[in-house]
Amino acid sequence: MQIIRLDVNDDKSVKDAINAIVKEKDRIDVVVNNAGYDLMGALEETSMEELKGQFETNLFGPVRVIQSVIPIMRKQGAGTIVNVTSLGGRISFPLNSAYHATKFALEGLSESIQYELEPFGIKIIVIEPGGVGSNFLKNLKMVSKADPSSSPYGSLQNSLSEYFKQWFQNAIHPSEVAKAILQAVTSENPEFRYVVEKDAMMTLESRKIMSDREFQDMIMKQINLQGRNHS
């Protein structure tokens, strides 16, 4: 197995990595866009620089890769592009507006380009994990102004942090996401979306049958209950 360094935030890094693969293999069959992180904090306290950084990695990073591989896949008449979004690309939690904005955007982008690329034999697949036992939570970034001791959102921030800690204690192993991706890319007729993790599936099912207000109340109740249990 050969590993090639690729920084999704850098145009040259993306192009150099893809050119190196094409030079050696003369084709690219599968691309998995998985780079991303979570920026946590109230929108009011989030700087434009922090917002732009979140979009740079979570949205523009995949766009750089996709734009670079499309001509290659179009020329060879086949290829699969996998965009790992999130349960957070379908529903939202408080204090994650920047993160959800990027994931909702990647979902919309994926839906649109599937129409553009299908005539060229290029498949688009969206993978939507729930809680995964990776380093995602460890790599979470707090907005610089998010101080629970002085922020008007401090109580909500503490409750949400506790909720996420407990949620990720029951997270699935990253290999489960890898299995879902492998199943999707090896299928002759893959689905467009794959939801990975039972809690994520149940949450999305609840979202289908609930009104906006009912679903919002359910999410807030879950978060507030977690906060009270740990007070």
Catalytically active residues are 99
What's the DSSP call for residue 87?
G
Element holding 225 (H helix, E strand): helix 212-229
Phi, psi of 76 (to 5 degrees): -85, -10
Can you tell me the distance from the alpha carbon of 145 to that of 180, in angstroms, rounded to the nearest whole number?
Answer: 38
Q: Is 140 exposed, middle or buried, given 0-12, 13-18 or 19+ CB atoms closer than 10 A? A: middle
Q: Which residues are within 8 A (CB) of 187 and not within 5 positions of it... i.e. 6 or more apart?
A: none
Can you tell me the distance from the alpha carbon of 144 to that of 47, in angstroms, rounded to the nearest whole number?
Answer: 8
**Listed residue (19, 15, 109) closest to 58, CA to CA:** 109
**Listed residue (195, 69, 175) closest to 123, CA to CA:** 69
Alpha helices in 33-172, H assignment, sequence order: 48-55, 61-76, 97-117, 154-169
